[in-house]
Amino acid sequence: MTGRLFVLSGPSGSGKSTIIARVLDTLDIDFSVSVTTRQPRPGETNGLHYWFISRIDFQNMVGAGQLLEWAEYNDNLYGTPARPIDSANAIGRDILLDIEIQGARQVRANRPSAVMIFIAPPSIEVLEQRLRGRGDTSDEDIAERLLIANEQLKAASELFDFVVVNDHLDGAVDEVTTLITGAI
């Protein structure tokens, strides 16, 4: 049986990363490790959270058609290597992608059967509080991320199969888990 492709998107600070970590802990599903040109944050491991690569290497991968999708976000490039996904799916493994919305749009076009889930914060105010609370993001970065979040929220309902509002973490994790297991 062919594996399925699940896409999780959502504004930074929506709690998406926490939800994904919990889902990966409990479900038998692979995670698609993206390539990125951004610098690793403390605690991030090459090959586990991302493959951290140079802009030149990234552009070469784009040129060679090795990425299923890619996008520029906050001055950094992010992309999903296609081969690990095809290999996983070919042996019946499901795989989860954590990508932003421009990339999600490309996946929707290239893989119409992908199951696409959008994680929404309860409100833009809550999102701002969470970003500020993280303490690792500059004011300029926060303003930029909030602008992007506003755009994303508008586009979400059209592009995604499901929107999960993260007003309560355990509930949101349960909802995403049910959506994934229900689709498998």
Instruction: List Cβ neighbours of 128 (8 Å cut-off, separation of 6 or more).
Output: 13, 142, 146
Minimum CB distance to ligand 5GP, residue 1 (Å) = 26
Distance of CA 135 to the CA centre of its chain: 21
The label of the residue with tokens 């996946």 reads 107
Which lies closer to ligand 5GP via its Cβ, residue 70 or residue 160? 70
Which lies closer to ligand 5GP via its Cβ, residue 3 or residue 78? 78
Minimum CB distance to ligand 5GP, residue 71 (Å) = 4
Minimum CB distance to ligand 5GP, residue 34 (Å) = 3
- State how far the alpha carbon of 74 is from the alpha carbons of 37, 64, 137, 143, 144, in Å: 11, 24, 12, 11, 8
Minimum CB distance to ligand 5GP, residue 79 (Å) = 5
Q: Which amino acid is at 165?
A: V
Interaction site with ligand 5GP (CB under 6 A)? 12, 34, 38, 69-71, 73, 78-80, 98-100, 102-103
* CA–CA distance, 12 with 16 (Å, rounded to integer): 7
Which lies closer to ligand 5GP via its Cβ, residue 1 or residue 42? 42
Which lies closer to ligand 5GP via its Cβ, residue 1 or residue 159? 159
**Minimal CB distance to ligand 5GP: which residue?**
103
- State how far the alpha carbon of 136 is from the alpha carbons of 18, 66, 139, 142, 182, in Å: 17, 32, 10, 10, 36
Asked whether the beta carbons of 108 and 116 are under 8 A apart, the reply is yes
Minimum CB distance to ligand 5GP, residue 91 (Å) = 22
Instruction: List Cβ neighbours of 100 (8 Å cut-off, separation of 6 or more).
Output: 9, 71, 73, 78, 148, 152
